[in-house]
Structure 1
Amino acid sequence: MYSTIEQKYQRIQKELMAGAFGLAGVFMIGTSWYRFVEHWSWEDSVYMTVITLATVGYGETQPMGNRGRLFTIALILMGVIAIGYIVNRFTEAVIQGYFQEGIRLRQQRRLMESLSGHYIICGFSRTGRQIAKEFRAEGVPFVVIDSEMDSMRYAQQEGYTAYQGDATLDETLLRVGIVKATCIVAALPSDAENLYTVLSAKTLNPEIRAIARASTEEAVQKLQRGGADAVVSPYITGGKRMAAAALRPQVMDFVDGILTGADRQLYMEELLLDPAICPVVGLTLQKARLRSQTGALVLAIRRVDGSLIGGPTGDTVLMAGDLLICMGTAEQLRSLNQILGPISTKQMRRPNNS
């Protein structure tokens, strides 16, 4: 689906082109009449047609009878209508800023085409806006999709890359680079819309990680069956966090401090052990000396089969495909990434639920 602005811009383009073709048609009719009916030369026919359509007030190129003068009157009227239509459409386009908007849309399209490994946020209500803030704090590239003009204006004011359209449609997802995206977050207000979005995203890019918002427990199950890698219910999650904040307030403050916010001192990160470039595969944590070399702490290890090892000991063997969940400062995590990499190996993948 094209955005409303893009539709208007394309409409103006078509109308201006139609007006130009209409004026060209009038010109051809006038030239043909003078050439084949009045039997003038091509030069005189073209010249007479131009001065007639331009209404410059010159006299007749050659003497004409009543029939020729009646045709010239009709030609003037057709020319005035065609030129007036073009001027009207052009003036509207200038006043409404469609030309400037067209330039912005082309720039946006080129930006969309250049994106790779980005995140897509579907829905820019309160949930989507908070997700966008967190993504910006993390410095990850992302695109916002919403069908409401007000949401698009707010996203653009915040400096986000935004596209107005229906996120449940394949065409919209293709326009924001779903094929090259890393993750899609379906935060639309309707559970059905989120389900359609997840299904479309997984069809177009089976490798993409899909996160979905759900309002009910039944919707959670349906979204999981529909292919969502993770489903979050604001009501269920909110209730659990409020209970945890009441029972373990200091723990919650600590966890919030390392998971969100732009002024964090500690971060949590996921690092994948790629056997092709990782030198510590096959070693124990003690022999790998990750903590002593970087200061970062390995909190847990997710095995390829989906099993989770919480609080791994020094005797835990690091295996190919393991996903390390680590905590540390930004500098410590960068150092750890260099040892495991030496390039960024962060990868989010769906745990095996078997």
Structure 2
Amino acid sequence: MKPLEKFKKFLGWRNAPKPHITLNDEFYGHLAPFRLPFILTVFVMLIGTIGYMTIDGFSLMDAIFQTGITFTTVGFGEIAPISNMGRIFTISLIIFGFVLFSISIGIIAEVVKRGEFQKTVKERKMLYEIARLKHHFVVCYHNDFTIQVTRQLRENHIPFVVVDPREDMEEVAKKHHYPYFVSAEPHTEAGILKSHLSSAKGMITLADNVADNIATIASARLYETEIGRVRKFLIIANAKNNEDEQKLVKLGANKVVTATKLMAQRINAMAARPDMENLLQEFLYKKDTPLDMEEAKVSKTSWLALQKIKSARLRDIANVTIIGIRQKDKQFIPMPKGDTIIMPQSKLLLIGTSEGITKAKKVIRKKQKPEELKYV
């Protein structure tokens, strides 16, 4: 390890993550018009320095200083007596300086007028901010579904990036409070890299037509294979009918939501159990509530594998209750008893506070029996 890296590690410094696409080429491309004024400035300074040293015998530093104050027309005057030939040379420098200044102002005005430079600077800043995100969701395509979904994500404090090819994404993002956005096709390489999908938890694609959803899901799965990601992306999509739903599932979507089916299920739930539906809406569908419900997977190496439920003591150490077990073969055991054996690779359905569930998951992931169980 290099000494500088050791020093950074000692101080706890970390290198800021960089986006996959930095737009450096575009950024420096916008600066290309300034090359000519810069080269001419250096050339005039060189000619002026040589001229004062040759004509009036100035020292190197005096010649550079005299050239600088003359070329920029600051009006300091002569730092040493100058001959008539030197004064003619000085007038020439002043004229060249004025012409060069006028050209530079014209170039700056043209660059600012086009607005491409400012646009690139803003996009570059946005890409660096997106690169700092971890376990975020990439939400594809802006529409009415996206507005509602992102509203819930904000309320649950889940980071997200909205990706849409429309050119007015900046105005759309301001209107609908998208903190991070990318103007690109979600299924393209640019869309995937700019949204920093590699560090995302998953993708939510909400296109108005199934073809765009198909292209986005296929691209995400191919990118997943390309980067060798161990944990697969969680991909959620919308569909208009059951046929489209089946297609998206076969292509790799983990969850597909059909608006008509979802609406029918919610209406039936409200009609059959209105009080229970209100309870779920109030406590389980929101993040910052006293009650939460999640699944926790029991790995093969977990200390809890092949143990009885009562051995976990999750209620004592985390105030969490196991209300169901989903076995590896998809069989679901509701309200299991304390003597029920927890099989490897099964999933425990936990209910409790968000903090308690987080603590319970840490306990379940441990390979050895936790120390705190000795005191409960």
Q: Does the pair score TM above 0.5?
A: yes
| Residue correspondences, number | 324
Per-residue CA deviation, residues 297-333 of structure 1 (Å, 9 max, x unaligned), is: 323323334x131305224321222222222233542
- 1:208 Cα deviation (Å)? 0.9
Once the two structures are superposed, the pairs formed by residues 32-47 of structure 1 within 5 Å of their partners are none
Flag the 1:30–1:297 CA change in 2: closer, same or farther, 3 A: closer
- 2:241 matches 1:221: no
| Distance in 2, Cα, partners of 1:46 & 1:295 | 77
- 2:166 matches 1:145: no
- 1:47 Cα deviation (Å)? 9.8
* C-alpha contact 2:303 2:366 (8 A) present in aligned 1: no
Which of 212, 218, 226 is matched with 1:193 structurally? 212
- 1:342 Cα deviation (Å)? 5.4
| Distance in 2, Cα, partners of 1:248 & 1:331 | 29
* C-alpha contact 1:267 1:328 (8 A) present in aligned 2: yes
Q: Which residue of 2 aligns with 1:20?
A: 35
Q: Which residue of 2 aligns with 1:250?
A: 275
* C-alpha contact 1:53 1:80 (8 A) present in aligned 2: no
- 2:122 matches 1:98: no
Per-residue CA deviation, residues 218-266 of structure 1 (Å, 9 max, x unaligned), is: 3212211221111111222112212322233223223323331356332
Q: Which residue of 1 aligns with 2:6?
A: none
Q: Which residue of 1 aligns with 2:261?
A: 236
Secondary structure of the corresponding residue to residue 205 of structure 1:
helix
Identity of aligned residues (%): 20
- 2:134 matches 1:110: no
| Distance in 1, Cα, partners of 2:197 & 2:208 | 21
| Distance in 2, Cα, partners of 1:78 & 1:15 | 22
Once the two structures are superposed, the pairs formed by residues 123-134 of structure 1 within 5 Å of their partners are 123-134=141-152
Which of 122, 126, 140 is matched with 1:122 structurally? 140
- 2:188 matches 1:169: yes
Flag the 1:268–1:34 CA change in 2: closer, same or farther, 3 A: closer
Flag the 1:24–1:338 CA change in 2: closer, same or farther, 3 A: closer
Flag the 1:79–1:199 CA change in 2: closer, same or farther, 3 A: same
Flag the 1:321–1:49 CA change in 2: closer, same or farther, 3 A: same
* TM-score (structure 2 length as normaliser): 0.67
| Distance in 1, Cα, partners of 2:362 & 2:234 | 25
Flag the 1:283–1:312 CA change in 2: closer, same or farther, 3 A: farther
Which of 310, 313, 316 is matched with 2:333 structurally? 310
* C-alpha contact 2:73 2:94 (8 A) present in aligned 1: no
**Which of structure 1's runs of 4+ aligned residues deviate more than 4 A?**
29-36, 39-43, 45-58, 61-64, 71-78, 291-295
Taking only aligned residues, the RMSD between alpha carbons, in angstroms, comes to 4.4
Flag the 1:87–1:151 CA change in 2: closer, same or farther, 3 A: closer
Q: Which residue of 1 aligns with 2:325?
A: 301
| Distance in 2, Cα, partners of 1:337 & 1:256 | 24
| Distance in 1, Cα, partners of 2:361 & 2:94 | 80
Q: Which amino acid aligns with 1:274?
A: S
Which of 65, 74, 88 is matched with 2:109 structurally? 88
Flag the 1:154–1:341 CA change in 2: closer, same or farther, 3 A: farther
Secondary structure of the corresponding residue to residue 304 of structure 2:
coil
- 1:197 Cα deviation (Å)? 1.5
Which of 360, 363, 369 is matched with 1:336 structurally? 360
- 1:279 Cα deviation (Å)? 2.4
Per-residue CA deviation, residues 42-98 of structure 1 (Å, 9 max, x unaligned), is: 98x99999789757899xx9989xxx9xx99996796355223234247x38x9993
Q: Which amino acid aligns with 1:220?
A: E
Stretches of structure 2 lacking an aligned partner (at least 5 in a row): 1-21, 226-231, 368-376
